[in-house]
Amino acid sequence: MTKNADANQWHPVYTHPRAEKKAYEALINKGITAYLPLHKQLKQWSDRKKWVEEPLVKSYLFVFINEKQRTEVLMTKGISRFIYFSNKIATMPGKQIEDMKLLLASPYELEITEKNLQAGEKILIKAGPLKGIAGEIISYRTQKQLVLKLEHLGCSIIVNVSAELIDRF
């Protein structure tokens, strides 16, 4: 079965270092649907502290395009390349994008790590704002935490979640 070249799909793209916000703006100005997950982080300088919005995953953003729009994305200032997985441009299910949006809207503190985390028990969150999200339990800094491994990104998202809110499956 061949995929329709006109069907839009989510693709992760790699940006130039510290160019995520400008690349996102340039894509939006071209009429391309894009998503740049941002989270607030407290930054400290020698003379002050300030809350700033930082990309959740450095040098990554996501575009919802069809095959015909790929060249336009690559011709956008700040975009470096598409992410490949098994010699094909990586795609992401819309559910993963929606889950990421849900995580960022939740009151939980997020942490990104590129460490190769060991898989543990598979769980499903049964209550709260993250209800319905599946993940894996790991031991990290002596706390039980939920880890959502996002395919094709090479990173994991760690979220503190009470053990009371999860079910094994």
**CA 13, 110, 148: angle at the middle one, nearest 5?**
65
Joined tokens for residue 81: 């390349």
Residue-wise pLDDT for 86-133, tens only, equals 899 999 999 999 988 988 888 777 767 665 555 577 777 777 777 787
Q: What pLDDT is stored for residue 133 in this prediction? A: 77
Cβ atoms of 92 and 100 within 8 Å: the answer is: no
Q: What is the dotted CATH code of the domain comprising 9-92?
A: 3.30.70.940
Query: Where in the chain are all domains bearing CATH 3.30.70.940?
Result: 9-92
Q: What pLDDT is stored for residue 1 in this prediction? A: 45
Claim: this prediction has a pTM higher than 0.75: no
Query: Out of 13-22, 85-94, 157-166, which region has the weakest mean confidence (pLDDT)?
Result: 157-166
pLDDT over 70 for what percent of the chain?
Answer: 78
Cβ atoms of 128 and 159 within 8 Å: the answer is: no
Q: What pLDDT is stored for residue 6 in this prediction? A: 78
Rounded-to-integer distance, Cα 159 and Cα 148, Å:
8
Q: What pLDDT is stored for residue 16 in this prediction? A: 97
